[in-house]
Amino acid sequence: MDDTQQLKSEILRLTRLYASKVHSSHLPASDPKRGVAGPFLPGQTTIPYAGRVFDEDEVEAAVGATLDFWLTLGPEGQQFERELAKCLRVSSSLLVNSGSSANLLAISALTSPSLGERQLRPGDEVITAAAGFPTTVAPILQQGCVPVFLDSDPATLNICVGSLEEAYRPGITKAVMLAHTLGNPFDLSSVVEFCKRHGLWLIEDNCDALGSFYDNKPTGSFGDLSTQSFYPPHHMTLGEGGAVNIPARSDLGKLAESFRDWGRACWCPSGRDNTCHKRYGWKLGDLPEGYDHKYVYNHLGYNLKPLDIQAAIGRQQLKKLPGFVQARRENWEILRTQLADLGEYLDFMLPTHATAWTPNGFEWDSTGHRSDCSWFGFMMRVKSTAPFGRRELVECLDAARIGNRMLFGGNLVRQPAFTNLIRQRPDAFRVVGDLAGADQIMKDSLFIGVYPGLTGQMLAYMVETIQTFCRRQH
């Protein structure tokens, strides 16, 4: 080992030592070293609804990649993309700088003229859910298409699939873009069959659902494209970051890559030139013969790449993902079991195709389909008959320093961005039905955390706080 390698090894050894002393509060709750982070003080220690969970491995990976100073997406990114694709059982994955960018990229890829009659064009309609996060819908509008909002089921938080046919308009409806809300797969059997029957694109927003399964197959592997987010509250993190997954069609992967990388036609990876051995041998369109292929642009694209340092962190996080997912499921089950006697005040979320929860597991409908959720959060819905409203429960949780959130934007058509838009352009989007379910979710629902950093003491305090509040209101 030469002097520089010895020096790097010593830097990384000290990095791990530093991380173990400074970042122990970010260890998984199951890690015995978590205890050195300090005592949990009920009512004083903040319990986040989500957060980063990592150890020395991620810090060492980040420092190691920084020392190599590749910086832009490179060898770590290529490895991460392969490993993520293997995890999701898809053909390939494309790393980007955020989940929101992933959604933008997925829609943009479908606007390529190379797709012929199936190209998304301005005015084409894309079916989506009314209740959710705005960046599932914003790219549809940003590409000049028309979102068609379907109502959401307050129990599953996913779309009411019975409205799909009502939403469909031959020759105008071109795609469906839906999120697996809070880690709960939407009814993929119905949606996939609907898309196949009508020749529609399907984009799965899998940002909340990494590690979820539907009929023993990972979510994110059913559609034509799917997306991930690696923002800190999600199932794993790169700090910022996201991905577009390509389950089968390699041509869609090439299109997504083009839009990610400025719209260029060249597929040479960063740091490598002339992999086609014809860099100056093309005659394309109105360009001069032999124009440098590195500077030929097929699309009006973006620059949405993350850093290689982020990919290095992600590779370590991906190794821990099975444990993270298991912890989320266990924490959800603890909360559900210990809050089960509050049924007169609260309704709780159900996986798609489940009809009821029991201490022995879920009861299922007769379809034969099953959802296995990698929960993003624990959703509660205050009943209309309860002696309190959602706001009072939220204020109680805030006072107890227990992190909580609404279901993101709630019914998006009620948000200022959308009400202003429809006033200016009455045909900007279309609504199917009265969206009563989405309104109920927006009015009565909230969720608390299940992420792997929650300790038994934290979970017990969350349960005690909610139990005490509900009983006092009686």
Domain tally for the chain? 2
Contact (CB, 8 A) for 369 and 353: yes
Q: Are residues 229 and 274 in the same domain?
A: yes
Which residues 6+ apart lie within 8 Å of 203 measured at CB? Answer: 103, 106, 107, 110, 175, 176, 177, 178, 223, 224, 225, 226, 227
- pLDDT > 80? residue 333: yes
The per-residue pLDDT for 37 is 63
The per-residue pLDDT for 275 is 78
What distance in Å separates the CA atoms of residue 405 and residue 407, rounded to the nearest whole number? Answer: 6
Q: Are residues 158 and 292 in the same domain?
A: yes
26 flagged as catalytic: no
Domain C-terminal end among 273, 288, 310: 310
Q: Are residues 192 and 341 in the same domain?
A: no
Q: Are residues 422 and 382 in the same domain?
A: yes
Domain C-terminal end among 310, 339, 373: 310
- Whether residue 41 lies inside any domain: the answer is no
Which residue in 26, 180, 234, 299 is the catalytic one?
A: 234
Q: How many CB atoms lie within 10 A of CB 314?
A: 28
Q: Are residues 325 and 291 in the same domain?
A: no
Domain C-terminal end among 276, 310, 344: 310
Residue 325 tokens, joined: 């997912």
Question: Predicted confidence band at 117 (pLDDT cuts at 50, 70, 90)?
Answer: very high
Q: Give pLDDT tens digits for 276-317.
A: 788 988 888 889 998 988 899 999 999 999 999 999 999 999
- pLDDT > 90? residue 342: yes
The per-residue pLDDT for 274 is 81
Question: Predicted confidence band at 473 (pLDDT cuts at 50, 70, 90)?
Answer: confident
Q: Are residues 326 and 306 in the same domain?
A: no
Nearest to 219 by CA among 236, 199, 205: 205
The domain in which residue 247 lies consists of 68-310
Cα 229–chain centre separation: 4
Of 126-135, 287-296, 326-335, 459-468, the least confident: 287-296
- pLDDT > 80? residue 270: no
Q: Give pLDDT tens digits for 189-208.
A: 999 999 999 999 999 999 99
Q: Are residues 276 and 388 in the same domain?
A: no
Report CA torsion sign: 227, 229, 233, 238: positive
Say what the pTM is.
0.95
Label each residue of 290-302 as H, E or C.
CCCHHHCECCCCC
* CB neighbour class for 216 (10 Å; exposed up to 12, middle 13-18, buried from 19): exposed
Average pLDDT score over the chain: 95
Q: Give pLDDT tens digits for 380-407.
A: 999 999 999 999 999 999 999 999 999 9
Q: Give pLDDT tens digits for 18-76.
A: 999 999 999 999 998 886 667 889 999 999 999 999 999 999 999 999 999 999 999 99
